[in-house]
Amino acid sequence: MVMTYRKGSRAERELIDYFSNNGYSVIRAAGSGVNSLSPDLLAFKHGMQYAIESKAIEKNNLNIDREQFTNMQKWEKNTGITCYIAWRKRGKQWRFVPLSLFNESKKSFGISWKKASVIGKELKEFS
């Protein structure tokens, strides 16, 4: 658990650095990685605004439990801010996938790395 938290925190810091270095104002949510009530990061720049949940997971499929995902959907609906799941595998580029592209199952919402690689936004698209 501690290793997973450290890996997640490192991934979040990487995104914070990227967005900050590209002119965004960035907020890291309190309790990020602990609760599922809000996204990990908020990024703002000249009227653009994004909510980002970061995932550094090595599997070929990313599954987000139903509670966390539905909380993200509620958050997006309440704020009007587009929510992305940012997913990176070791040695691969970040992919930013909007919530609408995840597939729903009984216990979770998921997407394959193959699909995320094809349809997800790349980090450079936010510069």
If one compares 29 and 60, the residue with the highest pLDDT of the two is 60
DSSP, res 60: S
For the stretch 40-78, pLDDT in tens is: 999 999 999 999 999 999 999 999 999 999 999 999 999
Contact, 15 vs 27, CB < 8 A?
no
> Token match 């509620």: residue?
74
**What pLDDT shows up at residue 10?**
86
Instruction: Work out the pLDDT band at 127, boundaries 50, 70, 90.
Output: confident
Least reliable range by pLDDT among 7-16, 92-101, 102-111:
7-16
User: What domains can be seen in the chain, in order of their start residue?
Assistant: 2-126 (3.40.1350.10)
**Within a 13 Å sphere around the CA of 29, how many CA atoms are in the beta-carbon half?**
18
Percent of the chain with pLDDT over 70: 88
> Token match 């070929």: residue?
60
Average pLDDT in the chain: 90
Residues 17-21: what's their mean pLDDT? Answer: 96
What's the CA gap between 80 and 4, in Å, rounded?
Answer: 30
pLDDT surpassing 80 at residue 5: no
Copy the structure tokens of residue 87: 């997913």
